[in-house]
Structure 1
Amino acid sequence: MKRIVILGAGESGVGTATLAKKQNFEVFVSDFGTIHDRYKSVLDEAEIQWEEKGHTEELVLNADVVVKSPGIPDHAPIVKRIIAKGIKVISEIEFAYHFNSELSIAITGSNGKTTTTMLTYKLLKEGGLDVGLAGNIGDSYAGQVANHPDKSYVLELSSFQLDGIEEFRPNIAVLTNLSPDHLDRYNYKYSNYIDSKFRITMNQTAEDYFIYDYDDKEIQQWLKNHSIKAKALPFSLYSKLDEGAYVEEENIIVTMDKETIVLPIEELGVEGLHNVKNAMAATTIAHLKKIRKEKIRESLSDFQGVEHRLEKVLKVDNVQYINDSKATNINATFFALESMKTPAVWIVGGVDKGNDYNELMALVREKVKSIVCLGVDNTKIRESYENVVDSFVEVQSMKEAVRVAKSLAESGDTVLLSPACASFDLFKNYEDRGHQFKEEVHNL
């Protein structure tokens, strides 16, 4: 019997433990922090050994294989010791893949991956396919494979999850776009992060598909310098393509295998150019999976988008409040600002991940009248924009941010929370930040 040690007892770790136990592994779960009571009871019920608040080395370093949570960096002391001992370290995605009889659809990218994943799942599910939804969303992939090993899954994957794969091979892989993100985990080298994202296609064969943003310069550059085996299907807002998806006269055109689908952009249930791209990627997948055109159109038109991603919260005194808390990098905020149709009061700030604020300068000049800066350290944002907008106010709480934004907004304006930064200085995570924003807007 093989011994598997799982580091981290969150959704991913506990799902892996459940699957490993079902596959007759000797399982041990070790968490450096405290384990949530809900997960403790799952582990106890399955008679899986666990520990919290630290790692007991003799119980960890005797593993045949270690599955680590994507949140644990490679430079963590325990991980360094595991690697030094020559023990294989993989991700939940890699482990579960070997027990999943159907090849999956895997979606990654700096932005848009959640929306594209949700939309793809909706198109396939409503089109009559028996598919699961996992990865960065909802219940863990491993936990679902434990109960439904013969399903095909739509997986949203982060670069951290892809770092831990060896043989994982999706039938359809999607790379929505690239922009600098999480560089603190990649020695501050953008090229390392890009290579990490492209791991999604490394095991694909000529029978598989790789769908990507043709307009993305970094993706194009990487593909020039590397070869992939999968059939490439690009999507573009600006170029007409022989095969793939593109925009022509306010329609999305998807063309492949001498078949064409035409979808009017105005029928999409979500707004913004970035959502046109997400829809192109999802529609390409649905077409590959033989979903009927009518069904695709119907599902696209009633898709309401994802919470915390350009989510319309409320109109107060004819001012629209929009929650885009999921925008944790410059690229995501770029699309948010680009989609603004009225003067914007922009709430921005948080933990800076190496942002270049000049990339937003033209949009800020064009769209933003006032900035409310919400973060512990706002120096970079202040230096970039203080002299570009009518008013620039720094605050330390969401309540204050929303109140100040209300005082700066006039009838017909938009208040946009699109932080371009991580949330960990003042909030638990971007969801907490988004929920607090919505709560304060409802309190106005």
Structure 2
Amino acid sequence: MGKRIVILGAGESGVGAAILAQKKGFDTFVSDMSLIKDNYKSMLNERGIEWEEGHHSKELILNADEVIKSPGIPNNAPMIMEIQSKGIPIISEIEFAGRYTNAKMICITGSNGKTTTTSLIYHIFKKAGLNVGLAGNIGQSLALQVAESNHDYYIIELSSFQLDNMYKFHANIAVLMNITPDHLDRYDFKMQNYVDSKFRIIQNQTPEDAFIFWNDDPIIRAELSKYGIHGQHYPFSENKENGVAAYTEQDKVFFMEPVPFNMEQEDLALTGTHNLFNSMAAGISADIAGIRKECIREALSDFEGVEHRLEKVCKVKGVEYINDSKATNVNSCWYALKSMTTKTVLILGGKDKGNDYNEIADLVKENCSGLIFMGLHNEKLHEFFDGYGIPIADVRSMKDAVDAAYNMAKKGETVLLSPCCASFDLFKSYEDRGEQFKECVRNL
């Protein structure tokens, strides 16, 4: 038999990895502690790939030559620790897929703005007529695309968990949007461990490659001095400074290199300061890839945005409802509140990942006319916000949350779902949470 590859977790990335592994002639086995979704089961069955669900059989796993682990499985899970103690290498699906393609890799990470920036870069490349795939945390898994289609470019959104198990993978263009505390529960509550994880995105870069980053992020700036310069640096900033590749001045966005061009800020499809940075990072990436400036301009102005990210649902009785279910950390919620132009009723809560709500304290005091706590354990939220003198409601379902918001919000105000937390106490996923919100709002 050839080399044995075991894949833990049969979601999008796991099933993609299994299909690629089988195609490359490996003895392939998939194991998931949970139940596997029917569509993924049929993908495995169609190709005759062996799988198990609801448990891990040690005898079928510990004989692996290499293990591909789903990013959702923590490193301290008992099975992972046992695999490590046997000295079996553990890699991510992206690392595995990267071995079998010579496509150019444009990789995006950061605590916030990843999905929007990734989608925006993909939109520009597609508009330019390039043969491009969208992968990582969105779209089809990279491994599946490498197995079944043949793209020249991949635009890949990378979480810190994916980066943790990437070793030889090489990003031709690496984009680092920002670094704020997130997922610290997975990093021994040490910020530095999380920061190190994000910086793995540049680990194999050569002088031919590009590193695009937000110049005003104090953590990124402090870290830069620790790393040898691999790729060419393309920093972006709100202000014109020496050496920045993009900045704003007098309501225009200037892209300085490699090919200089500018455009009116009001022509950007996405509004708000954080989206300005997303647009800059995307514009620089496309510019480096040699896409014509006319095409970049047009694509930056007709992009439609990302679902569950500051997504306008509708207006009911003069109140605007906005779905920002993708805000699974406090910094995301900060961006959302920052972009509100009216008084806001904020719906927040869920599975807390060690959140520090101080970051949004001032914005809540200034901008919020009501707070709705939606979760099984709201004690921490009460402890933090009860003293603010703002009306508060406790709810256990999305319908109750939307009803409470409807009763609280006055004409001309906004109701914002921007939870700061993971969704897993009441919902299947942040998408499920956002879909339920939109449905309840449309039924008002």
Matched, 1:408 2:413: no
**So what's the TM-score if we normalise by structure 1?**
0.97
Tell me the CA shift for residue 238 of structure 1.
Answer: 3.2
1:230 corresponding residue in structure 2: 231
2:6 corresponding residue in structure 1: 5
Partners of 2:345 and 2:372 within 8 A in 1: yes
Equivalent-residue separation in structure 2 for 1:381 and 1:126 (angstroms): 44
Equivalent-residue separation in structure 1 for 2:30 and 2:61 (angstroms): 9
Tell me the CA shift for residue 392 of structure 1.
Answer: 1.6
Equivalent-residue separation in structure 2 for 1:329 and 1:78 (angstroms): 28
Partners of 1:240 and 1:247 within 8 A in 2: no
Structure 2, unpaired ranges of 5+: none
Equivalent-residue separation in structure 2 for 1:241 and 1:274 (angstroms): 21
Partners of 1:215 and 1:238 within 8 A in 2: no
1:90 corresponding residue in structure 2: 91
Following TM superposition, where does structure 1 have runs of at least 4 consecutive aligned residues deviating by more than 3 angstroms? none
1:18 corresponding residue in structure 2: 19
Matched, 1:240 2:234: no
Which stretch shows the higher mean deviation, 206-215 or 291-300?
291-300
Query: Percent identity, aligned pairs only?
Result: 55
1:423 corresponding residue in structure 2: 423
2:347 corresponding residue in structure 1: 347
Tell me the CA shift for residue 386 of structure 1.
Answer: 2.2
- Listed one character per residue, the Cα deviations across residues 98-140 of structure 1 (whole Å, up to 9, x for unaligned) are 1011231010111100000000000011012111001110211
Partners of 1:182 and 1:353 within 8 A in 2: yes
1:302 corresponding residue in structure 2: 302
What code does the residue aligned with 2:14 have? G
1:207 corresponding residue in structure 2: 208
Partners of 2:235 and 2:243 within 8 A in 1: no
Q: Which SS does the other structure have where 1:353 is aligned?
A: coil
2:39 corresponding residue in structure 1: 38
Q: Which SS does the other structure have where 2:198 is aligned?
A: helix
Q: How does 1:113-132 map to 2 (within 5 A)?
A: 113-132=114-133
Partners of 1:101 and 1:150 within 8 A in 2: no
Q: Which SS does the other structure have where 1:407 is aligned?
A: helix
Q: Which SS does the other structure have where 2:260 is aligned?
A: strand
What code does the residue aligned with 1:112 have? G
Partners of 2:133 and 2:151 within 8 A in 1: no
Matched, 1:100 2:101: yes
Equivalent-residue separation in structure 2 for 1:186 and 1:144 (angstroms): 30
Q: Which SS does the other structure have where 1:96 is aligned?
A: helix
Structure 1, unpaired ranges of 5+: none
1:375 corresponding residue in structure 2: 375
What code does the residue aligned with 2:308 have? H
Equivalent-residue separation in structure 2 for 1:355 and 1:32 (angstroms): 28
Equivalent-residue separation in structure 2 for 1:162 and 1:80 (angstroms): 18
CA RMSD of aligned residues (A): 1.2
Q: Which SS does the other structure have where 2:225 is aligned?
A: helix
Equivalent-residue separation in structure 2 for 1:364 and 1:426 (angstroms): 24
Equivalent-residue separation in structure 1 for 2:151 and 2:393 (angstroms): 54
- Listed one character per residue, the Cα deviations across residues 179-209 of structure 1 (whole Å, up to 9, x for unaligned) are 1111111111111011001101011111101
Which stretch shows the higher mean deviation, 360-369 or 186-195?
360-369
Tell me the CA shift for residue 389 of structure 1.
Answer: 4.4
1:273 corresponding residue in structure 2: 273
Partners of 1:312 and 1:321 within 8 A in 2: yes
How many matched pairs?
A: 443
Equivalent-residue separation in structure 2 for 1:94 and 1:231 (angstroms): 23
Q: Which SS does the other structure have where 1:416 is aligned?
A: strand
What code does the residue aligned with 2:9 have? G
Equivalent-residue separation in structure 2 for 1:420 and 1:58 (angstroms): 40
Residue 403 to residue 241, structure 1, CA distance change in 2 (3 Å): farther
Tell me the CA shift for residue 55 of structure 1.
Answer: 1.5
**So what's the TM-score if we normalise by structure 2?**
0.97
Q: Which SS does the other structure have where 1:120 is aligned?
A: helix
2:286 corresponding residue in structure 1: 286
Q: How does 1:313-328 map to 2 (within 5 A)?
A: 313-328=313-328
Matched, 1:196 2:197: yes
Equivalent-residue separation in structure 1 for 2:37 and 2:350 (angstroms): 27
Tell me the CA shift for residue 42 of structure 1.
Answer: 1.5
Q: How does 1:124-273 map to 2 (within 5 A)?
A: 124-257=125-258, 259-273=259-273
Tell me the CA shift for residue 241 of structure 1.
Answer: 4.1
